[in-house]
């Protein structure tokens, strides 16, 4: 539990406190450790504090890259099988 | 759940495993520093499908597990003080001191409260002006800024009944200690993901520079860890040795500057005792001198136990924390030591190595493992 941080979406902000939706559970989270945060941002929540904004674009790009490699290999494997047939 | 499920896709996991098998060309001991990674590795059972030459060495990254018995005894001594409320994170309740635990003290009538956040502890101090509230705060770099902010908040509120008994520990000095220990054999590191959101990837550059071991900072889902393994193997294959970030959605080079400012404003480095490892210079943080009014150790110095307790001899938690032994090497594992009645801290915290093995791989451990 101690170093666990869970991603959640910022719903709204009131001063130092943001309401964050973490997989359907809404929690009040202190955002004083972040310079700037907006509703719609995904943040990593740890012991009631938002530690970092998750770079969604970075996340999607990494996933896309991984999936692209995976698909390429899959096609290569299926392709060579067909050739073998 | 968004940004979680994407990293659990079994098809991608199979693909990554194939890539890992292809690149793996000899024994590789990887230390995962963080207890969160240990938990994820053991829970997913990935060791059973990885090449048998890849071995995870579980590291010292569980803050509860490295808290020395003496510190628990101090918290217990304060719990016995009249009109005193101890606030702490849930994991600390069952950790055995030399003769009791906070949970046992609570059962006997002490005011011990579990808090989710350090600010809840400050609120307790506001709501109980006639009591002293002591926040028993433990943590690595991930948790230290949050704990530190509570002192800033208490000071702003002018509270005189709030103080902190802290056991704050830092990753880089303990990694040095582990690497300097000839009993430990490590070829590469899985870097701690959430610690790094705060300190940034630059905090580990000394590992490749001075110790010539690669580091990949990893996320916590199974595919994050597999991808990080792949990246470590790729570094080895290509003859590189550097710090890379797999967890790039949350980790930058310089971390979270605002959180680091809080740490700097509130704490200063001190020598720190690590359970099972011993004292390491500048490996801990305690409150700065000008904030001593909030330091429970100084504020209640007369209540602190004088005797230094001995660690239980039948427990090998120390060696497990250093990565020298595994739970199966401990005669008490699963019999004399269980999460309900823990002998050592590794069995208490959900991030502890023994707790992870007990929960997910009890049968594997007791029958000697599927790989042996």
CA distance A24 to B292: 41
A-interface mutation test, from B146, B174, B355, most A Cβ less than 10 A away: B146
- Closest partner CB to A59 (pick from B91, B195, B249): B249
Specify the pLDDT at position B371: 46
CA distance B25 to B371: 18
Q: Are residues A6 and A34 in the same domain?
A: yes
CATH number at residue A1: 2.30.30.140
Q: Which residues on chain A are in Cβ contact (under 8 Å) with B142?
A: 2-3, 5, 46, 51
Q: Are residues A45 and A6 in the same domain?
A: yes
Q: Dihedral sign for Cα B174, B348, B366, B13, please.
A: negative
- Closest partner CB to A33 (pick from B1, B140, B259): B259
Residue B274 main-chain phi, psi, to 5 deg: -110, 130
Specify the pLDDT at position B252: 96
CA distance A51 to A41: 13
On whether the CB atoms of residues B152 and B126 are closer than 8 A, the answer is: no
CA distance B3 to B251: 14
Q: Which residues on chain A are in Cβ contact (under 8 Å) with B190?
A: none
Taking only the tens place, the pLDDT of each residue in B227-258 is: 999 999 999 999 999 999 999 999 999 999 99
Q: Are residues A38 and A78 in the same domain?
A: no
How many structural domains does chain A have? Answer: 2
| Nearest residue in chain A measured CA to CA from B3 | A7
What's the complex ipTM?
Answer: 0.90
- Asked whether the predicted pLDDT for residue B60 surpasses 80, the reply is yes
Tell me if B2 and A49 make a contact (CB, 8 A cut-off): no
Contact of B116 with chain A, judged by CB distance below 8 Å, is answered with yes
On whether the CB atoms of residues B109 and B166 are closer than 8 A, the answer is: no
Q: Are residues A22 and A61 in the same domain?
A: no
Chains A, B: CB contacts under 8 A, how many?
A: 127
Q: Which helix (H) or strand (E) holds B311?
A: none
Angle, CA of B238, B242 and B245, to the nearest 5°: 105
CA distance B143 to chain A (A): 7
Q: Are residues A60 and A45 in the same domain?
A: no
Instruction: Taking residues B99-106, report their average pLDDT.
Output: 96
- Sheet containing B162-169: give its strands across: B111-114, B84-88, B132-139, B162-169, B278-287, B267-274
CA distance B111 to B312: 27
Q: Which helix (H) or strand (E) holds B257?
A: helix B257-266
Nearest CA among B24, B41, B26 for reference residue B364: B41
- Asked whether the predicted pLDDT for residue A76 surpasses 80, the reply is no
- What length is written for chain B? 372
Tell me the two tokens of residue A22.
């973490």
Share of chain B above pLDDT 90, in %: 74
Cβ contacts of residue B113 below 8 Å, gap of 6+? B85, B86, B87, B88, B124
- Closest partner CB to A2 (pick from B4, B18, B64): B64
Q: Are residues A61 and A22 in the same domain?
A: no
CA distance A38 to B322: 41
Q: Dihedral sign for Cα A67, A73, A78, A83, please.
A: positive
Which pLDDT band holds residue B367 (cuts at 50, 70, 90)? low
Q: Are residues A42 and A74 in the same domain?
A: no
Q: Are residues A2 and A34 in the same domain?
A: yes
Q: Dihedral sign for Cα B4, B10, B12, B15, please.
A: positive
Nearest CA among A84, A52, A18, A6 for reference residue B196: A52
H helices of B300-344, in order, are 317-322
- Pick left, alpha or beta for residue B112 (phi over 0 → left; psi -120 to 50 → alpha; otherwise beta): beta
CA distance A85 to chain B (A): 23
Taking only the tens place, the pLDDT of each residue in B259-268 is: 999 999 999 9
Residues B229, B231, B234, B238, Cα dihedral to 10°: -140
Q: Which residues on chain B are in Cβ contact (under 8 Å) with A70?
A: 11-12, 15
Domain region containing A8:
1-54
Q: Which residues on chain B are in Cβ contact (under 8 Å) with A54?
A: 3, 249-250
**At the fourth CATH level, which superfamily is domain B1-9+27-313?**
HypD, alpha/beta domain 2 (3.40.50.11740)
Tell me if B6 and A69 make a contact (CB, 8 A cut-off): no
| Nearest residue in chain B measured CA to CA from A70 | B15
Tell me if B256 and A34 make a contact (CB, 8 A cut-off): yes
DSSP string, B157-211: TT-SSEEEEEEEE-HHHHHHHHHH-TT---SEEEE-HHHHHHH-GGGGTHHHHHH
Taking only the tens place, the pLDDT of each residue in B125-136 is: 999 999 999 999
CA distance B103 to B107: 6
Pick B133 or B350 by higher pLDDT: B133
Specify the pLDDT at position B225: 97
Q: Provide the β-strand partners of residue B188.
A: B30
Q: Are residues A2 and A40 in the same domain?
A: yes
Taking only the tens place, the pLDDT of each residue in B66-95 is: 999 999 999 999 999 999 999 999 999 999
- Enumerate the domain spans of chain B: 1-9+27-313, 317-366
Q: Are residues A21 and A49 in the same domain?
A: yes
Q: Are residues A50 and A66 in the same domain?
A: no
| Nearest residue in chain A measured CA to CA from B116 | A47
Q: Are residues A34 and A46 in the same domain?
A: yes
CA Rg, chain B, in Å? 21
């Amino acid at each position: 539990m101690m170093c666990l941080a869970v991603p959640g979406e910022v719903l709204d902000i009131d001063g130092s406190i943001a309401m964050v939706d973490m997989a359907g559970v809404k929690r009040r989270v202190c955002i004083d450790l972040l310079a700037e945060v907006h509703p719609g941002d995904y943040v990593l929540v740890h012991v009631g504090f938002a530690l970092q904004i998750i770079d969604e674009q970075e996340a999607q790009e990494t996933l896309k890259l991984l999936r692209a490699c995976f698909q390429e290999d899959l096609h290569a494997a299926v392709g060579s099988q067909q050739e073998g047939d | 759940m968004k940004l979680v499920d994407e990293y659990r896709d079994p098809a991608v996991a199979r693909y990554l495993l194939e890539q890992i098998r292809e690149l793996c060309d000899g024994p590789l001991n990887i230390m995962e520093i963080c207890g969160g990674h240990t938990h994820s590795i053991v829970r997913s059972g990935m060791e059973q499908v990885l090449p048998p030459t890849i071995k995870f060495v579980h590291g010292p990254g569980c803050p509860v597990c490295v808290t020395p018995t003496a510190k628990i005894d101090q918290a217990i001594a304060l719990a016995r003080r009249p009109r005193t409320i101890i606030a702490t994170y849930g994991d600390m309740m069952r950790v055995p001191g030399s003769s009791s635990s906070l949970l046992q003290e609570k059962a006997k009538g002490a005011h011990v409260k579990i808090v989710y956040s350090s600010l809840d502890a400050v609120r307790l101090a506001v709501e109980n002006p006639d009591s002293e509230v002591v926040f028993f705060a433990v943590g690595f770099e991930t948790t230290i800024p949050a704990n530190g902010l509570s002192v800033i908040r208490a000071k702003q509120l002018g509270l005189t009944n709030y103080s902190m008994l802290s056991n704050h520990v830092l990753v880089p000095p303990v990694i040095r200690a582990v690497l300097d220990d000839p009993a430990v054999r490590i070829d590469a590191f899985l870097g701690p993901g959430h610690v790094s959101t705060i300190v940034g990837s630059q905090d580990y550059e000394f590992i490749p520079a001075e110790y010539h071991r690669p580091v990949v900072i990893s996320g916590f889902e199974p595919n994050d860890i597999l991808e990080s393994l792949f990246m470590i193997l790729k570094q080895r294959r290509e003859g590189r040795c550097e710090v890379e970030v797999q967890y790039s959605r949350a980790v930058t080079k310089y971390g979270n500057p605002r959180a680091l400012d809080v740490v700097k404003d509130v704490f200063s480095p001190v020598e720190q005792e690590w359970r099972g490892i011993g004292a390491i210079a500048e490996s801990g943080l305690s409150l700065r001198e000008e904030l001593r009014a909030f330091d429970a150790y100084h504020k209640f110095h007369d209540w602190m136990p004088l005797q230094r307790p001995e660690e239980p001899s039948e427990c090998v938690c120390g060696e497990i924390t250093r990565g020298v032994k595994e739970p199966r090497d401990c005669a008490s594992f699963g019999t004399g030591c269980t999460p309900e009645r823990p002998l050592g801290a590794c069995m208490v915290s959900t991030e502890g190595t023994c707790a992870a093995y007990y929960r997910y791989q009890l049968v594997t451990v007791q029958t000697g493992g599927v790989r042996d």
